[in-house]
Amino acid sequence: MSKDPSHTHSACCDTEDDTHTAAHTHDHDHEHGNAGQAPWSVYFPSLFSLFMLLAGIGAGYLYPNLLKGYLRFFWYLIAYLPVGLPVMREAWKGIRKKDFFTEFTLMSLATIGAFAIGEYPEGVAVMVFYAVGELFQSAAVRKAKGNIKALLDVRPSSAQVFRRNRYETVAPEQVEIGEKVQVRPGEKIPLDGILLSSRGSFDTAALTGESKPHTVYKDGQVLAGMLNLDQVIELQVSRVFSDSSLARILDMVQNASARKAKTELLIRRFARIYTPVVFLLALACVVLPYFILSDYQFRDWLYRALVFLVISCPCALVISIPLGYFGGIGAASRKGILFKGSVFLDLITKVNTVVMDKTGTLTKGVFRVQEIAAKGIAEEEMMQLLAALEGKSTHPVAKAIAAHVQSLSDPLPVSDIRELAGMGLQGRVAGKEVLAGNTRLLDHFGISYDATVHDIVESIVVVAVDGVYAGYVLIADELKEDAADALKALRNIGVTKTVMLSGDKESITQKVAAALGVDLAYGGLMPEHKVQILEKLKQEPGCIVAFAGDGINDTPALALSDVGIAMGAMGSDAAVETADVIIQTDQPSKIATAIGIGKATRQVIIQNISLAFAVKALVLVLGAGGLATMWEAVFADVGVALLAILNAVRLQYMRL
């Protein structure tokens, strides 16, 4: 069976440790290269056998003398073979590997036994309804994998690279860092790079789950998998394809099933013990009554044992539980959330404390001019003088000021620039002496200013022109639009404590925390301080901690937390690699969504386990007492599996 991680089989079951109940259906899918809709040939054997079964039952009811003797046997044998042979083939593969107690072996023995005692319709029914259940399961997996397959489909097939004074078409894997690539409208970005064109508009749905256009300007970052929308653009490659964001996402998605949840692993181990035990009980059901009962009827007790075997098949558990987790991973992917395995889908449901980095997680991580207060000078003139001086600096605050006034007019001439360490800049702009920096700069030159500026907690740049205080500009990192909603959603979903950590100064950190309603906030932190706070939180009894961050400095905290959550769209490679959950949209509100998806998935898993055990236990007792026929056994096995599959499919339609 296939071990391709993009294949349905590996998404639901470990091929080396477990025999999957959907093997023959998946083999068909694999043979036909099916990535979306199953070909007609997959359905034909089940439909043919179902038609023959129903026709045989109908004929036997309406014309009792029509199907008798060998004709009846061959009729049902023809009905049995299309659905029975694939199961028997898988049973033989298991036996050759000394794996005797599989659901394939149990169903093969039970149905062959049913034929041996003349219960042909029951024998065919077991295989037919099993095959129908497999078709439903395959459809459910295809639905769950829809968004993940969409990721695989966005893999660029070629790149237009500028070589030898012309553009050449090559595979993305053959492009080197630093080469120039051209992308036409409607084409996918083949590799991560820096935009060389003045601007570009992109559809990022494949990476973030958000379909609204995203505009990137010159020198901005563009990522492999983005769809170029409106004009020819050029970019300089910054990463080889194997290191690109798209390749990293594909690798995470394809290998998500390798990290299985404890519930999934427990059920697998249980099924491997449970199945041989029930097989031995079925054997005892045939043998022991011979020594106890005086009116022992071999055929009667063999039939009960066969019913017992069919009921004992752990299909509902082995299929629906991995499918439930995979459905949760698929539902999360549709929301722009990537889980690196079902183990984290399970663990995130236990999180009761969420710790978040401020910059880049709750805020946009980009400085913006928030307020301008000019005194004795026109606001526009002050900003032009300030921007001209700050335009010579690479400091983030200087860049924010320059970006704010870039459309006002052409830059003014600047000369005699001098930087005063820890205070700011001094220079002549258009013939005027301009000072720009913090209040210590004005104190240094003995320039008086409004004392109220000391009450401002945000970062400000005070300005003096020709020795006179001219005003200030307030610079701040903007809160993300959904930051406040994110905190409310976390409380609503059961998180009891929220904590914000920041390297920014304490006064700014506390102001942001108060605005958002964060329970605890710590500012002025180095990476090691964040780790110390996390260690202290984890020592609290019953505290399960999730940490959300985006920078390379957040990597130690991401690794230490019980669940590490990275803001993946703009997050550093180190953060994305270390985290257990990636939020591709960079929206903090998706943290609560991720927890909600985990809880919905866990609820479906518990429902499936409870349903399977309750029905199987009931019908096992009835079967041992001779009160359940093969038809009840089919329901207890395949019917319950089908119900569990349909329940798992609900994850794709839930409002999460």
382-404, pLDDT tens digit by residue? 988 888 888 767 666 777 787 77
295 burial class (0-12, 13-18, 19+ CB within 10 angstroms)?
exposed
**156 closest CA partner among 252, 246, 33, 251:** 246
Mean pLDDT over each residue of the chain, to the nearest integer = 79
Residue 260 has pLDDT above 90, yes or no: no
Among the four given CATH numbers 3.90.79.10, 2.70.150.10, 3.40.50.970, 1.10.150.20, the one describing domain 155-254: 2.70.150.10
Beta bridge partners of 522: 501
Mean pLDDT of 412-428: 84
228-255, pLDDT tens digit by residue? 888 899 999 998 887 776 666 556 555 5
Dihedral-angle region of residue 431 (phi above 0 means left; psi in -120 to 50 means alpha; beta otherwise): left
600-612, pLDDT tens digit by residue? 999 988 888 888 8
What span, in angstroms and rounded, lies between the C-alpha atoms of 433 and 467?
Answer: 7
The pLDDT value recorded for residue 21 is 35
Most confident of 13-27, 356-370, 622-636: 356-370
DSSP helix/strand/coil, 393: coil
Inter-CA distances, 378 with 287, 372, 465, 553, Å: 103, 11, 12, 42
Tell me the catalytic residues.
357
Domain ranges of the chain: 8-148+260-331+599-652, 155-254, 338-362+480-584, 365-479
What span, in angstroms and rounded, lies between the C-alpha atoms of 238 and 222?
Answer: 10
463-511, pLDDT tens digit by residue? 999 999 999 998 877 888 899 999 999 999 999 999 999 877 788 888 8
Inter-CA distances, 454 with 93, 349, 426, 468, 514, Å: 79, 45, 21, 18, 20
Determine which helix (DSSP H) or strand (DSSP E) holds 614, and give its type and residue range: helix 589-624
Mean pLDDT of 409-429: 81
Out of 139-153, 432-446, 528-542, pick the least confident. Answer: 139-153
What span, in angstroms and rounded, lies between the C-alpha atoms of 468 and 489?
Answer: 49
For tokens 């720009």, the residue is 436
N-term to C-term CA, the chain: 34
182-234, pLDDT tens digit by residue? 999 888 888 889 999 988 888 776 555 455 577 888 888 888 878 888 889 99
Mean pLDDT of 623-634: 73
Cβ(436)–Cβ(463) below 8 Å: yes
What percent of the chain stands above pLDDT 90?
23
Where is pLDDT greater, at 309 or 605?
605
Where is pLDDT greater, at 618 or 78?
78
What span, in angstroms and rounded, lies between the C-alpha atoms of 72 and 53?
Answer: 11
356-384, pLDDT tens digit by residue? 988 888 988 777 888 899 998 998 889 88
The pLDDT value recorded for residue 454 is 83
The pLDDT value recorded for residue 202 is 85
Mean pLDDT of 41-57: 88
128-146, pLDDT tens digit by residue? 877 876 777 676 666 555 5
Residue 77 has pLDDT above 90, yes or no: yes
What span, in angstroms and rounded, lies between the C-alpha atoms of 115 and 122?
Answer: 8
Where is pLDDT greater, at 271 or 349?
349
The side-by-side arrangement of strands in the sheet containing 459-465 is 363-374, 468-479, 459-465, 432-437, 424-429, 414-420
DSSP helix/strand/coil, 28: helix
**643 closest CA partner among 13, 137, 110:** 137
Mean pLDDT of 80-92: 91
What span, in angstroms and rounded, lies between the C-alpha atoms of 601 and 288?
Answer: 43
The pLDDT value recorded for residue 350 is 93
pLDDT band at 14 (very low <50, low <70, confident <90, very high): very low
What span, in angstroms and rounded, lies between the C-alpha atoms of 358 and 381?
Answer: 34
pLDDT band at 408 (very low <50, low <70, confident <90, very high): low
Cα dihedral sign, 230-231-236-237? positive
Mean pLDDT of 319-335: 78
Angle, alpha carbons 485-490-494 (nearest 5°): 145
Cβ(432)–Cβ(351) below 8 Å: no
In CATH, the number for domain 338-362+480-584 is 3.40.50.1000
Quick one: fold of 365-479? Answer: Calcium-transporting ATPase, cytoplasmic domain N (3.40.1110)
Cβ(469)–Cβ(451) below 8 Å: no
What span, in angstroms and rounded, lies between the C-alpha atoms of 615 and 649?
Answer: 20
pLDDT band at 447 (very low <50, low <70, confident <90, very high): very high
The pLDDT value recorded for residue 30 is 39
Q: Which residues have CB under 8 Å from 388's CB, separation 6+?
A: 411, 412, 413, 414, 429, 430, 434
Residue 435 has pLDDT above 90, yes or no: yes
What's the pTM value of the predicted model, to 2 decimals?
0.64
Residue-by-residue DSSP string for 295-326: T--HHHHHHHHHHHHHHH--HHHHHHHHHHHH
What span, in angstroms and rounded, lies between the C-alpha atoms of 517 and 357?
Answer: 15
pLDDT band at 297 (very low <50, low <70, confident <90, very high): confident
3-state SS of 463-516 is EEECCEEEEEEEEEEEECCCHHHHHHHHHHCCCCEEEEECCCCHHHHHHHHHHH
The pLDDT value recorded for residue 432 is 92
Cβ(310)–Cβ(122) below 8 Å: no
pLDDT band at 24 (very low <50, low <70, confident <90, very high): very low
The pLDDT value recorded for residue 523 is 86
Torsion of the alpha carbons at 225, 231, 234 and 239, rounded to the nearest 10: -10
